[in-house]
Amino acid sequence: MSQKTDLGRPLEGVLWMLASGLSFVGVNGIVRYLGTDLPAAQSAFIRFGFGVLFLLPVMPSMFRVGFAPGAMRLFAGRGVVHLAAVLFWFYAMARIPVADVTAIGYLNPVVLLLAGSLLLGETLTPRRVIALALALLGAVIVLRPGLRALQLGHLSQIGAALCFAGSYLFAKRLTALAPASVVVAMLSLTVTAGLAPIAALVWVPVTWAQTGWLAVVAALATLGHYLMTRAFRAAPFSVTQPVTFLQLVWASLLGATAFGEPVDGYVLLGGAIIIGAISWVSWRDAAAG
């Protein structure tokens, strides 16, 4: 097997995932810093618009080969679901602590685990049921309904987690019909096109500084996904997944130092339980398979 696809390089995979996590924490921090001065739809449109600009030089060669039958319908469906996820996420990120957004975002793989069993015919083994139960317990610890006031931002981030999981399900199907570069490019195009009329309805004056920061967000998000891909090529998911918990630690430190947000031990504990459950079931599935 070639060096580029060998999964026997755990240290390299961990390092790539660490770098990816730092990139995504940077994305979170900038969006939190920009706050609510810009509507969520407008911020998201500018961010994805820059993503399209970054991809423009390579788009002609990617689309020259055309699309497989049924691919455009899946591209459109993914665009709609991802658009909703992005709106939910931008709304939540500007309103609740960075650590809360990160911890709730860990529910993505939990939803995928359940969806894989319900929609894709994958077996819901006892250990997967245990992992789901533990992850839900972790989510309850993070949110603590009835013990603290839940904001609309918390509910919005839960919606984002559900919609991002739906987007990943579309992506899984599309990878069998189109190259990864085309899947990424079509996501940027469809989401940007879908956001355009929504952003136009709520548009407010935007400064050069805000535009520049959103360009950095687009660059960091693109870099984060690239680094994550390198991690997945270097080591198994069961090795790289636990590293993502450090995003919550960094997010808590960022929130405390940059925005004066108190470090919430319950959020750290709940996030650890969620990511621990997913890491455990991933490792067990890999060992059994």
| pLDDT recorded at residue 238 | 65
Predicted confidence at residue 76, as pLDDT, reads: 93
2 located within any domain: no
Q: How confident is the model at residue 1 (pLDDT cuts 50, 70, 90)?
A: very low
What are residue 96's phi and psi, to 5 degrees?
-125, 160
Interatomic CA distance for residues 137 and 246, integer angstroms: 20
d(CA 109, CA 165): 7
Model pTM above 0.85: no
As for how many domains the chain has, the answer is 1
Q: Is 29 exposed, middle or buried (0-12, 13-18, 19+ CB in 10 A)?
A: buried
Range of the domain at 198: 10-288
Alpha helices in 119-207 (DSSP H): 126-143, 152-174, 180-202
pLDDT digits (tens, 9 = 90+) for 158-214: 999 899 888 888 887 887 787 777 787 888 889 999 999 999 999 999 999 999 999
CA-to-CA dists, residue 277 to 160, 198, 203, angstroms: 20, 38, 42
Residue 1 included in any domain: no
| Within-domain flag for 223 | yes
Q: Are 172 and 116 in contact (CB under 8 A)?
A: no
Q: Establish if 4 belongs to a structural domain.
A: no
Q: What is the pLDDT of residue 79?
A: 92
pLDDT at position 280, please? 81
In a domain? residue 20: yes
User: For residue 288, what pLDDT band results from cuts at 50, 70 and 90?
Assistant: low
40 burial (CB, 10 Å; 0-12 / 13-18 / 19+) is: buried
In a domain, 281, yes or no: yes
- The first and second tokens of residue 287, run together, are 């060992």
pLDDT tens track for 73-107:
999 999 999 999 999 999 998 888 888 888 888 88
Taking residue 38's Cβ as centre, other Cβ atoms within 10 Å add up to 25
